[in-house]
Amino acid sequence: MEPIYQQDFEITDALVDRYGRLKPSSILYIAQEVAGFHSELLRVDYDSLARQRMFWAVTRHKVQITRIPQRGETIHVETWPMPPTRVAYPRSMVAYDEKGKEVFRSISLWVLMNLDTRSMILPSKSGIVLSGTLRGTELASPTGLMAKVMNNRRKRTVCFTDLDRNGHMNNTRYLDWIDDLLPSAFHEGRNLQEMTVCYLSEAREGQELEFHWDFVADNCLQSDAYRQGQERPERIFSAQLRFL
């Protein structure tokens, strides 16, 4: 089996914002899609794992953007699993335009979860063997984001269309919700350069999330999502987006 999976994606209307630019959530969607297709070839896809009462969950994502692709372009995407760590399975991705120039790259950390208990399964205990590949061009693994005191608040409730096959809020939807924190006038004049996303806990249907957000540095937006726990709010998601 080839260690590197390749696929072309046409940037269609469904993947772009009102200005015809590939949305941040669509970058994560593409990363999720190519990881899924490659997992099928490696026989560690959703259905194969479900028979073993396991599923994949992404815990962190980091994306660096050279240029945002536009509607009508076709990009060429390469992805490969990296050697597993003690707790996670890193995966790298890089995308090129039709001239062969890089437009963005990412690294994501995936973990195996028990489908019944929703607890994490360490690679050494999973029985899943992925040797991984290193090409020497991979991004460094993303680190966690510190919670910050921020001035702005907005609440939203997780609904049916936010859910994926695992029954929790899909990772791409968080980025759409963050985009919605700011108006069109902000997005029109800025391009995303980098984003780091940390998924700390599952968000389930019907749960109300409160987003805390602010600019923590020049053109750097941070957003932390909380839900109400039994004793205090629980942070379930954090992201930083840097704009140019």
Report the pLDDT averaged over residues 68-89: 97
Q: What is the pLDDT of residue 147?
A: 93
CA–CA dist 119, 74 (Å, integer): 39
State the SS3 of the chain.
Answer: CCCCEEEEEECCHHHECCCCEECHHHHHHHHHHHHHHHHHHHCCCHHHHHCCCEEEEEEEEEEEECCCCECCCEEEEEEEECCCCCCCEEEEEEEECCCCCEEEEEEEEEEEEECCCCCEECHHHHCCCCCCCCCCCCCCCCCCCCCCCCCEEEEEECCHHHECCCCEECHHHHHHHHHCCCCHHHHHCCCEEEEEEEECCCCECCCEEEEEEEEEECCEEEEEEEEECCCCEEEEEEEEEEEC
Domain 152-243 belongs to what architecture?
Roll (3.10)
Ranges in the chain annotated CATH 3.10.129.10: 5-126, 152-243
| CATH class assigned to 5-126 | alpha beta
pLDDT tens digit string along 211-235?
A: 999 999 999 999 999 999 888 999 9
With a pLDDT cut of 90, the percent of the chain lying above it is 94
- 167 pLDDT higher than 70: yes
Q: What is the pLDDT of residue 1?
A: 58
Specify the pairing of strand 233-243 against strand 192-199.
Answer: antiparallel
